[in-house]
Amino acid sequence: MQTTSETRGKSRAHLVLATLFVATFAMGSAELLVVGLLDLIADSLGVSLSTTGGALTANALGLAIGGPALTILTTRLDRRTVLISAMSLFVIANLAVVLSGGIGLLIAARFVAGAVQGLFIAAGFVAAMSVASPGRQGRAISVVISGFAVSTAVGVPLGTLLGQALGWRGSFVAVLVLATLALVAVVAIAPSVPGTSGPQGQARYAFAPRVLAVLVLHFLLFAALFAAMTYIVPFLGAVTGVSGSLVGVFLLVYGVATAVGAIGGGRFADSNAAATLIAGSVGVAASLLALYLVGSVAILAAVALFALGLFAMATGPSLQFRVVSLAGPGGALASSLPVSAVNVGIALGSLAGGVAIKGGDASIAIITGLVIAVIAIPVAWATSHLDPPTDHRPIAPSRDSAPPRPPERATEMETS
């Protein structure tokens, strides 16, 4: 039977996770909104589409480089302070985007937004795990990740429609309003989590070979995914015979799958993260193979796309959980590294797919993704045999999960 304090603790945990979800939803929407508004921004600022694309690249570079750098500089600070500071700077950066009159300021603001987004993500994972009871850290991580997944499925399409009606600045004003509300919630509810040792003490564990091995798996899985997905529209047009508004339906199917995968993947991370990564790698490869083989049949192509999004994003919580677990006392710094590995994977995967389809056959991009996914399978198997440092296991006494305390003695907050 739960005591009053336990009930309050559980309610607070839910509020913390809800706040983190809203914040990451706003950040994810802002990150990818440029894709749907590229032509509008280019026309408004009087620059080419390729130049405007630098706004997307700047955000990715901010995430990949600025995020870990800022995390290193703030390891000693309380995570509450970091979350509030990062969210405040994110609001300011997006205000600069709205007010920008030239592409230079827009790109600079996007880089800053990406960097503080990376910092927020790292601190957000630590905060989420701090309110989770043993055995539920994976589910807490999945809430943070699902904010980005849902933004892809819902936030970006809605923002694009809003931009078509009100102009691209109107879309970013909406993001700004949501981010400001998230900032107020962060100030009100973010938990206090003490900082850790300085950068040198963290780096020894965060950059250990066992951690780097899982980061390689991050890279491979997302390189495989985006080698195919970057060129999915040409594939649907040439192979599936889908065009116009129907393409949006297929992309919506994929987006919904990523959201479902990210939300549900937390339970598998808590159960057995290492095994989940093996299953997820096999699932991504099988989905890409199915898409290549049956892509000419619209309904089967949609099923394959759904499976691809589901398997790919279901690995997200397990990937993050394994990195933090294997880093031991370097977990605070290590929590910022997966987003860098993912962004490098996205960039090089898209590049590989682009090189592959130069001959004009969009289906070759699917094969390219499949080859990378097949390489990821033995890597996932190998990393499943890695263990956290023996001198410190901050998250769980076993490799992947911690047994919950008996109900009558439990005092930690629970997440659902």
Among the three residues 144, 175, 195, which one is the final residue of a domain in this structure? 195
Instruction: Give φ, ψ of 267 to 5 degrees.
Output: -65, -40
For residues 415 and 14, the answer to whether their CB atoms sit within 8 Å is yes
Q: Which of 150, 169, 195 is the last residue of a domain?
A: 195
Dump pLDDT digits (tens) for 354-400: 888 877 788 898 999 999 999 999 999 999 999 888 755 443 333 33
CA atoms in the 13 A half-sphere facing the CB of 38: 14
Q: How far apart are CA 224 and CA 323, in angstroms?
A: 20
Give the DSSP letter string of 272-323: HHHHHHHHHHHHHHHHHHHHHHHTTSHHHHHHHHHHHHHHHHHTHHHHHHHH
State the angle between helix axes of 316-327 and 137-150 in degrees (0 to 180), rounded to the nearest 10: 130
The count of other CB atoms within 10 Å of the CB of residue 299 is: 9
Residue 222 Cα distances to 269, 343, 375, angstroms:
18, 8, 12
Co-location of 184 and 74 in the same domain? yes
Handedness of CA 258, 262, 263, 264 (dihedral sign): positive
Closest CA to 225 of 348, 320, 315, 349: 349
* Position 105 in a domain: yes
d(CA 379, CA 79): 32
Helix, coil or strand: residue 396: coil
C-alpha to C-alpha distances, 242 to 233, 299, 350, 367, nearest whole angstrom:
9, 11, 22, 20
The residue among 250, 235, 240, 238 whose CA lies nearest residue 368 is: 235
- For residue 375, tell me if it sits in a domain: yes
**pLDDT tens for residues 47-85?**
887 788 788 778 888 888 888 889 888 888 888 999 999
189 and 328 housed in the same domain: no
Token digits of residue 38: 């590229």
Residues 173 and 263 in one domain: no
What is the reported pLDDT for 308?
Answer: 95
DSSP for residue 397: S
Q: What is the residue range of 309's domain?
A: 200-403
The CATH number covering residue 21 comes to 1.20.1250.20
CA distance 141 to 131: 11
State how far the Cα of 289 lies from the Cα of 325, in Å rounded to an integer: 32
What is the domain count for the chain? 2
Residues 59 and 96 occupy one common structural domain? yes
Q: Could you say which of 148, 167, 195 is where a domain stops?
A: 195
pLDDT at residue 3, rounded to an integer:
60
Axis-axis angle for helices 337-356, 316-327 (nearest 10): 130
**Nearest-angstrom CA–CA distance, 394 and 13:** 19
pLDDT in tens, the chain (416 residues): 456 555 566 778 889 999 999 999 999 999 888 877 877 888 889 888 778 878 877 888 888 888 888 988 888 888 899 999 999 999 999 999 999 989 999 999 999 999 999 999 988 988 888 887 777 888 888 888 888 888 877 887 788 788 888 889 999 999 999 999 999 999 998 888 887 666 666 778 888 999 999 999 999 999 999 888 878 878 888 899 987 778 878 888 888 898 889 888 888 888 899 999 999 999 999 999 999 999 999 999 999 999 999 999 999 889 888 998 898 888 777 887 888 888 788 878 888 888 888 777 888 989 999 999 999 999 999 999 998 887 554 433 333 333 344 333 333 333 33
Are 131 and 12 within 8 A, CB to CB?
yes
Q: Please, how many CA atoms are within 13 Å of residue 72, restricted to the half-sphere of its CB? A: 14
- 123 and 65 within one domain: yes
Same domain, yes or no: 89 and 45:
yes
Is residue 416 a part of any domain in this protein? no
